Amino acid sequence: MVTFAELRQAQPETYRQASRAWATLVEVIGTQGDTVTSRGSELGTVWAGPAATAATGHFTRLGEEFGQGAQIAGRIPAVLDTHAAAVAQAKATVDMVVSVLAPTPVLVSPAGTVSLSPAAYAVPAMVPFWQALAAQARTMINGAVQAATAADTAAAGQLNGLMPVATTTAATTSSASVPLSQVPAQGTNPQAVNDWWEGLSDEQRTWLLENHPERIGNLDGIPAVDRDAANRSVLATEQQRLEDRRDELNALGDDRNGDQDDELERINDQLTGITAINERLADTGPGKQQAFLLGFSTDGNGQAIVAMGNPDTADNIVTYVPGTTTRLGSIGGDLGRADIMVDSARAADPSESTSAIVWVGYEAPQSIINTDLGELGQDATNDRYAEAARDDLDRFQDGLRVTHEGERSHNTVLGHSYGSTVVGYTARDNGLDADELIFVGSPGVGVDNASQLGVDPRHVWSSTAANDPIQYGYNFGDLVQYGLGLDPQADLIHGANPSRAEFGGQVFASDPGDPLVRWTWEGPGPFDVIPVPHFSANAHSQYWDPGSASLENMGQIITGNRPTRN
Amino acid sequence: MMQTLDQRQATDRLEEHVSRAVAALPVTPRLEIASDLRTECDDPSDLGPQGRIQVSRRYWLAGLDRTRNAECFEALHAHWTTNGYRVLDDARDRSVEDMETGEVHATPMLWVEHADDGFRMNLVSSVRGDLSLVTTSPCIWPTGEPEPAA
């Protein structure tokens, strides 16, 4: 199957060059065959007897084989030339479509999906025109891709027919399919998944990645490189589906009902996350290691798991679990945090490699407090989201161990905010295969004491900035008071405060962060006499500020170093 | 919401801070870029304005004699405290313990912020004594102006 992207980058000239190379080869083979035949017959004039007869016969057969070879190879240049012409034509079509649409609000993505930009809706009367243009572009692109695919298949078939070796390859391809009943189900033990995967032939693995990537991408125990290939493919398909649906909904305009408005909002949100992931997957540059898409789904709020650097080969791995309001659409900021953790780990120890993974592999609460009467309790005060995440996070960490190559890696699991609750619950109830646990800005991790997490308390770390409101409860009135200097609470909504000494873990330093309450004087006219408090939750998200004490300390812990202050 | 530097201006300003710091060192290092990152300022749960970013760059200060690291910290401390920067965290006494081997390494760190433009700089040592300098802009709008609400 030829893709749009391949077609855009296709170089038909390559096939023509190959054609010329084959033509030259045919000529050489023909000449060599003639030489062998004539030299063989020359032998007869100077050599007689049974051995000479056998040798002459051998040379004759050899000459004939050269001749047959030249005859078969002689058909190859024509096949390649035909193919080159077909690809050139298809490529010219898609190139033309892209250049014609460039100045219009009809967008063609690198994957060949066609959509309308918001500008297309600026003049309502023009919308049907743009839609018609988009539809025509889709038809032309699909037609070109299909023509190129057909040419590709035809050329491959003709070449296979000519070459005995190629026939064998074709036979293997058809036997490369794997019954889907044999593909392990989601949730299968990672070691069992890995045993199954390693037991397949290369052709079978390729067949699965090409034909059923959705069954492979989210399986723990599959190597990162293969998960990445599968998920990139799923992401492209899902992006196309969402863009098509978005266009349909946009086209309805004022005729959309409330449910359709909600659907459109959800789709736009997920597409924001998909764009952020695509940008990071394509991004390189100082401090940006190659990214791997280890998980992807648009179900519910949407989920994604993205690694900066290959975890299967890294010396250190940190899995970062973000908190409240996390979803596919919000992943952009988290990807930046992962890059920053890699940077701080490198600054701490440049001799070691680190992979930082953003794990948005669970449905997170979408609000701190949900005041919607119909959805009371569907928020960060509810621990059901953490309970539902346990098995998946636990198995993901197990999978990292199974697929890791070489020496055992130093693995850290870091939870921010509600993410720390997820990490704590998983460690408490499932056991978590991690060398270090880090909690930042935690509302509690489900236990009273670090010793209840199944990880040596000397490797359980926590930090809460002095101005992070998370440690002061949710009462707004209290916030004013606590902002004026009361102590952090020992008991938080999801358990004991892990950033207090009596929890029994290791507390590391964070900077205070932006002030919780800032007062200004305001008033009527020129008289600024009324004190007005301004609340800020900024400190809750400043743990990754470049250069900050918390970030530098995280880098140290991720690389297996215990930060101390003399 | 007020105007800020745009991304290009912020990057230029960042480089000015770096140049001045490097000029203050007793030995001129070779600057090797370690990271060039653009990060979002807003946490989704943060109630502040959305859409602002920070630019940050880390340089390795290569080619320095590690036995003179303390001197470099002293020189930058003097430069920063006399040129409008305030110290956010003076951890020149910091050290770390390798959790596997128990070895202790000095990993001094000095973090400052310029009082006028809010740029922050951090000089930090790795466990092996490699110095790196990370400089970060305050939160800015990429175009210098708030983006209209979508």
Smallest Cβ distance to B58: which of A287, A337, A536? A287
CA nearest to B124, candidates B60, B65, B67 = B60
Contacts of A330 in chain B (CB under 8 A): 44
Indicate the average pLDDT of chain A: 86
> Residue A364 to residues A98, A326, A426, A447, A521: CA-CA distances in angstroms?
40, 6, 15, 20, 39
Residue A237 neighbours by CB under 8 Å, 6+ apart: none
Question: How many contacts does A have with B, using Cβ atoms within 8 A?
Answer: 140
Per-residue pLDDT at B44: 43
Angle at A217 between CA A215 and CA A219, to 5 degrees: 80
Q: pLDDT-based confidence at A340, cuts 50/70/90?
A: very high
Distance in angstroms (rounded) separating the CA atoms of residues A341 and B37: 12
The residue among B59, B120, B56 whose CA lies nearest residue B88 is: B120
Q: How far is CA A57 from CA A31, A37, A62, in A?
A: 19, 10, 9
Task: Tell me whether residues A547 and B134 touch, CB distance under 8 A.
Answer: yes
pLDDT at A529 over 50: yes
φ, ψ for residue A553, nearest 5 deg: -65, -40
Asked if A439 and A498 count as a contact pair (C-beta separation under 8 A), the reply is yes
Report residue A200's pLDDT band, with 50, 70 and 90 as the boundaries.
Answer: very high
Stretch among A105-114, A491-500, A518-527 having the lowest mean pLDDT:
A518-527
Least confident of A118-127, A207-216, A471-480, B102-111: A471-480
Q: Which residue has the higher pLDDT, A148 or A308?
A: A308
- pTM score, whole prediction: 0.74
The values of phi and psi at residue A391, to 5°, are -60, -40
Cβ atoms A323, B45 nearer than 8 A: yes
CB contact under 8 A, A566 and B93: yes
Interval A544-554 mean pLDDT: 89
CA dist A267 and A278 (Å) reads: 16
Instruction: Give chain B's end-to-end CA distance (angstroms, integer).
Output: 16
Distance (Å, whole) CA A326 – CA A323? 6
Whether the CB of A548 is below 8 Å from some CB of chain B: the reply is yes
The whole-angstrom distance between A3's CA and the closest CA on chain B is 32
Residue A566, pLDDT > 50, answer no
The verdict on a CB contact (< 8 Å) between B136 and A547 is yes
Q: Does A549 touch chain B (CB under 8 A)?
A: yes
Indicate which of A416, A545, A558 best probes the interface with B, i.e. most B CBs within 10 Å of its own CB.
Answer: A545
Instruction: Give the minimum alpha-carbon distance from B103 to chain A in angstroms, rounded to a whole number.
Output: 9
Judged against a pLDDT cut of 70, whether residue B91 lies above it is answered with yes
Whole-angstrom Cα distance, residue A280 to residue A332?
9
In terms of DSSP bridges, do strands A354-360 and A316-321 run parallel, antiparallel, or are they unpaired? parallel
Any long-range contacts for B120-124 (C-beta under 8 Å, 24+ apart)? Answer: B120/A545, B120/A546, B120/A547, B120/B88, B121/A547, B121/B17, B121/B18, B121/B21, B121/B80, B121/B85, B122/A546, B122/A547, B122/A552, B123/B21, B123/B72, B123/B73, B123/B76, B124/A347, B124/A547, B124/A552
Residues of A in contact with B35 (CB under 8 A): 286-288, 339, 343, 346
Structure tokens at A300: 């519910």
Q: Which two tokens stand for residue A125?
A: 């009367």
CA distance, residue A133 to nearest chain B CA (Å):
26
Nearest C-alpha in B relative to A550: B89
Tell me the angle at which helices A418-430 and A384-403 cross, rounded to the nearest 10 degrees.
70
Which residues, 6 or more positions from B63, have their beta carbon under 8 angstroms from its beta carbon?
B29, B30
Write down the pLDDT at residue A486: 56
Cβ within 8 Å of residue B108, ≥6 positions away: B69, B70, B73, B91, B92, B93, B94, B123, B124, B125
* Set of chain A residues whose Cβ sits within 8 Å of the Cβ of B64: none
Q: Check B48 against A346: CB less than 8 A apart.
A: no
Q: Cβ–Cβ of B124/A347 closer than 8 Å?
A: yes
Determine the 3-state secondary structure of A174 from DSSP: helix
In chain A, which residues have their Cβ closer than 8 Å to the Cβ of B93? Answer: 565-566
Asked if A562's CB is within 8 angstroms of B96's CB, the reply is yes
- In the predicted structure, residue B95 carries a pLDDT above the cut 80: yes
Residue A370 has a pLDDT of 66
**Closest Cβ–Cβ partner in B47, B58, B97 for A564:** B97
Give residue-wise pLDDT tens across range A394-449. Answer: 999 999 999 999 999 999 999 999 999 999 999 999 999 999 999 999 989 999 99
Q: Concatenated DSSP letters for A302-343? A: -EEEEEES-TTT-SEEEEEE--TT-SGGGHHHHHHHHHHHHH
Spatial distance between the Cα atoms of B41 and A307, rounded to a whole number of angstroms:
21
Tell me: pLDDT of A479 over 60. Answer: no
Token duo for residue A43:
């032998």
Contact yes or no for B46 and A541 at CB 8 A: yes
Helix, coil or strand: residue B75: helix
Residues of chain A positioned with their CB less than 8 A from the CB of B109: 549, 552
Q: Which of the residue ranges A353-362, A427-436, A504-513, B20-29 would you say has the lowest mean pLDDT?
A: A504-513
B40 interaction partners in chain A (CB closer than 8 Å): 332-333, 336
| A469 → chain B, closest CA residue | B46
> How close is the nearest chain B Cα to the Cα of A340, in Å?
8
Q: For chain A, how big is the Rg over CA atoms in Å?
A: 32
A176 within 8 A of A207, measured Cβ to Cβ: yes
Spatial distance between the Cα atoms of A346 and A287, rounded to a whole number of angstroms:
9
SS (H, E, C) A11-58: CHHHHHHHHHHHHHHHHHHHHHHHHHHHHHHHHHHHCCCHHHHHHHHH
User: For residue B128, which residues of chain A lie inside 8 Å, CB to CB?
Assistant: 349-351
3-state secondary structure of A96: helix
Residue of B31, B35, B80 to mutate for A, most A C-beta atoms under 10 A:
B35
For the segment B21-80, what is each residue's pLDDT rounded down to a tens digit? 999 999 999 999 999 999 888 654 444 567 888 999 999 999 999 999 999 999 999 999
Amino acid in the structure at residue A530: I
Under 8 Å between Cβ of A448 and A471 = no
A514 in contact with B, Cβ within 8 Å: no
Which residues 6+ apart lie within 8 Å of A285 measured at CB? B36
Q: Which residues 305-324 on chain A approach chain B with CB closer than 8 angstroms?
A: 323-324
For the beta carbon of residue A73, count every other beta carbon within 10 angstroms: 19
Beta partners for residue B90, in sequence order: B110
Q: Quick count: other Cβ atoms within 10 Å of Cβ B104?
A: 14
Q: CA-nearest residue of chain A to B39? A: A336
- Using a CB-CB cut-off of 8 Å, the residues of chain B touching A459 are 99
Contact across the interface for B36 and A548, Cβ inside 8 Å? no
* B87-105 average pLDDT score: 92
User: At A63, is the secondary structure helix, strand, or coil?
Assistant: helix
A98 contacts: CB under 8 Å, gap ≥ 6: A8, A108
What tokens were used for A145?
């891709």
pLDDT band at A473 (very low <50, low <70, confident <90, very high): low
User: Across the strands, what pairs with B50?
Assistant: none
Contact B121, B25 (CB under 8 A): no
d(CA A332, CA B43): 10
| pLDDT value at residue A42 | 73
pLDDT digits (tens, 9 = 90+) for A54-94: 777 777 777 777 777 777 788 888 888 888 888 888 888 88
pLDDT band at A349 (very low <50, low <70, confident <90, very high): very high
pLDDT in tens, A207-259: 999 999 999 999 999 999 999 999 999 999 999 999 999 999 999 999 999 99
Residues A551, A340: contact at Cβ < 8 Å?
yes
User: CB-based contact (8 Å) between A34 and chain B?
Assistant: no
Band of the pLDDT at B1, cuts 50, 70, 90?
low
Secondary structure E strands in chain B: 30-40, 53-62, 85-91, 94-98, 104-106, 109-114, 120-125, 131-136
**Interchain contact, A339 vs B35, CB within 8 Å:** yes
Contacts of B124 in chain A (CB under 8 A): 347, 547, 552
Chain B positions in Cβ-Cβ contact with residue A556 (cut-off 8 Å): 96, 107
Q: Give me the pLDDT at residue A237, please.
A: 95
Task: Search chain A and give the residue with CA nearest B126.
Answer: A348
In the predicted structure, residue A169 carries a pLDDT above the cut 70: no
Q: Can you list the alpha helix ranges (DSSP code H) found in A163-216? A: 164-174, 190-198, 202-211
